[in-house]
Amino acid sequence: MAYNLTVSPDFAPDHISGWYFFNTWLQRQLDVGVHLELYDCFEKQRSDIRDNKIDMIYANPYDASMLVRELGFKAIARPQERPDETVIAVSAESTISSVEELQAGITVATTDDPDVHTMGMIMLEPADLDGSNVTTKEVDTYVIVAKNLLNGNADVGFFLKDAYDELSDLIKGQMKVLVSSQISVVHHSLLVGPTMQEFIPRLEERLFSMHEDEKGKGVLQSMNLEEWEPMTEEETEFMIDLIDTLVIE
Amino acid sequence: MSDQDTGESREVTISYHDGTSRAATVVDREVPYPDGKLIVSRTDPNGIITHANQAFIDMSGYTRDELIGVNHYILRHPDMPSVAFAGLWETIEAGKKWHGYVKNLRKDGSYYWVKATVIPNIRNGKLVGYTSVRRKPSRSKIKASEELYATLM
């Protein structure tokens, strides 16, 4: 029987091959077939998760609530020192220098990345901005968010901080950051579904020592990760509770 | 900084719902909420602090050791009407999420405004505590809250 692994659609496209290397590594460690299914949007992925087509997932923190509390997934690992932080940026030519200067009626370029979008909207609140008085322009990638700022088609852009940092210096030089979140405790995590619970002990043993051997280290580097660290049940619940407080209703 | 700030200090006695009280110095000086940060704390079901993140420590002016094990009402500012907290407890004890604007008292007597959200923490169907997350409010919401709370004192 082959199991299905998937990755949150917000992973950086540059590291797509890394996830295929990880999938191969995983199959060798567990001695079972694992198929890597990648999605280009959250909606289709969530639909397949709800249809029980996914057995393991590297998930966006926003989806952890559904996976853990509704579908019985268990978070076992998170990447070391890789919290999900959000950046709000404007064109370098913009006269705006702080969030509070932004006015109702602005256009926000964003992606379908749920935690970045939520945090971005929260960081606009000090300017009395919300879904009712901004226009949201949802695009596919952070590069397109940047392009919208540079060509004047959006006033502000929301970025995953890691993605912002990976933009070219040429692009970054034409933008300025208004605010960057410093939350620290919201991050992606590797979750195992009910169908694969029997593999958790071996999986934990191999994942947490993965950075210690050359092959494992190479796979991690190709995914742009340093190493995996354990995630306890209470840490997972805490993160889900925290995200629950941020959901804009 | 609020338009109402005078920088003056006064000695007050703050009374809590459990019958206890403490003397505190209150200074009319606002400390601005830091951009991009969330203040996060957790309490047990009785409101005793069990977790405080660094932003909470920095903004409250207390050390982690001073915060853990004490009631969350240590942050209560005398300008906050008790009816606001009664509403908070009524909501979260019913298992619901509470949102509100809160003026908090720092250890040094100055204050900071937050937009707070509190949710019950349910584990295996049982209430084990509450998580409170605070974020930066807008000036207009602070002004409206100052005016509203003044009428409720």
Its ipTM equals: 0.92
What is the spatial distance between Cα B114 and Cα B103, in angstroms, rounded to a whole number? 7
- How many domains does chain B fold into? 1
Q: Please indicate whether, in this complex, the C-beta atoms of A125 and B139 are within 8 angstroms of each other.
A: no
- Closest partner residue to B131 among A180, A182, A245, by Cβ? A245
In percent, the amount of chain A with pLDDT more than 90 equals 90
Residue A232 three-state SS: coil
Query: How far is residue B8 from each of residues A71, A152, B4, B44, B110, measured CA to CA in Å?
Result: 55, 47, 11, 35, 10
- Domain extent, residue B68, equals 9-152
In this complex, is the C-beta atom of A191 within 8 Å of any C-beta atom belonging to chain B?
Answer: no
Residues in A touching B135 (Cβ below 8 Å): 122, 125
The answer to whether B59 touches B106, Cβ cutoff 8 Å, is yes
Residue B65 lies in a domain: yes
pLDDT of residue A126: 97
According to DSSP H, which parts of B16-138 are helical? 54-60, 64-67, 82-93
Residue B3 lies in a domain: no
pLDDT of residue A249: 65
Task: State the CATH class of domain A86-180.
Answer: alpha beta
Q: Which of A88, A233, A245 to mutate to test the interface with B (most CBs of B within 10 A)?
A: A245
What pLDDT, in 10s, does the model give residues A109-141? 999 999 999 999 999 999 999 999 999 999 999
A198: which DSSP letter? G
Residues in A touching B97 (Cβ below 8 Å): 244-245
Angle, nearest 10°, between helix axes A233-246 and A114-124?
50
In this complex, is the C-beta atom of A125 within 8 Å of any C-beta atom belonging to chain B?
Answer: yes
For residue B119, the domain's CATH number is: 3.30.450.20
pLDDT (tens place) for every residue of chain B, 153 residues total: 566 688 899 999 998 888 899 999 999 999 999 999 999 999 999 999 999 999 999 999 999 999 999 999 999 999 999 999 999 999 999 999 999 999 999 999 999 999 999 999 999 899 999 999 999 999 999 999 999 999 998
pLDDT of residue B1: 57
Q: Which of B99, B131, B145 to mutate to test the interface with A (most CBs of A within 10 A)?
A: B131
pLDDT of residue B16: 87
In this complex, is the C-beta atom of A246 within 8 Å of any C-beta atom belonging to chain B?
Answer: yes
Residue B71 lies in a domain: yes
Residue B2 lies in a domain: no
Q: Please indicate whether, in this complex, the C-beta atoms of B40 and A123 are within 8 angstroms of each other.
A: no
Residue B1 lies in a domain: no
Q: Please indicate whether, in this complex, the C-beta atoms of B137 and A179 are within 8 angstroms of each other.
A: no
Residue B99 lies in a domain: yes
Instruction: Give domain A2-82+185-246's CATH number out of 3.40.190.10, 3.40.47.10, 3.90.1150.10, 3.40.50.920.
Output: 3.40.190.10
The answer to whether A61 touches A188, Cβ cutoff 8 Å, is yes
In this complex, is the C-beta atom of A126 within 8 Å of any C-beta atom belonging to chain B?
Answer: yes
What pLDDT, in 10s, does the model give residues A16-68? 999 999 999 999 999 999 999 999 889 999 999 999 999 999 999 999 989 99
B21: tokens are: 């009280």
User: How far, in whole angstroms, is CA A210 from its chain's centroid?
Assistant: 22
Query: How far is residue B30 from each of residues A110, B111, B139, measured CA to CA in Å?
Result: 33, 5, 12
A218: tokens are: 């190479």
Q: Please indicate whether, in this complex, the C-beta atoms of A245 and B97 are within 8 angstroms of each other.
A: yes
Phi-psi bin for A222: left (phi > 0), alpha (psi -120 to 50), beta? alpha
Strands (E) in chain A, as ranges, are: 2-7, 33-38, 56-59, 74-79, 86-91, 107-110, 135-138, 156-160, 175-180, 189-192, 228-230
Q: Distance (Å) from the C-alpha of residue B107 to the closest C-alpha of chain A?
A: 23
What is the spatial distance between Cα A214 and Cα A180, in angstroms, rounded to a whole number? 35
For chain A, residues classed under CATH 3.40.190.10 are 2-82+185-246, 86-180
Residue B45 lies in a domain: yes
Residue A98 three-state SS: coil
pLDDT of residue B3: 65
Comparing C-alpha atoms, which of B40, B39, B14, B9 is closest to residue B26? B9
Residue B4 lies in a domain: no
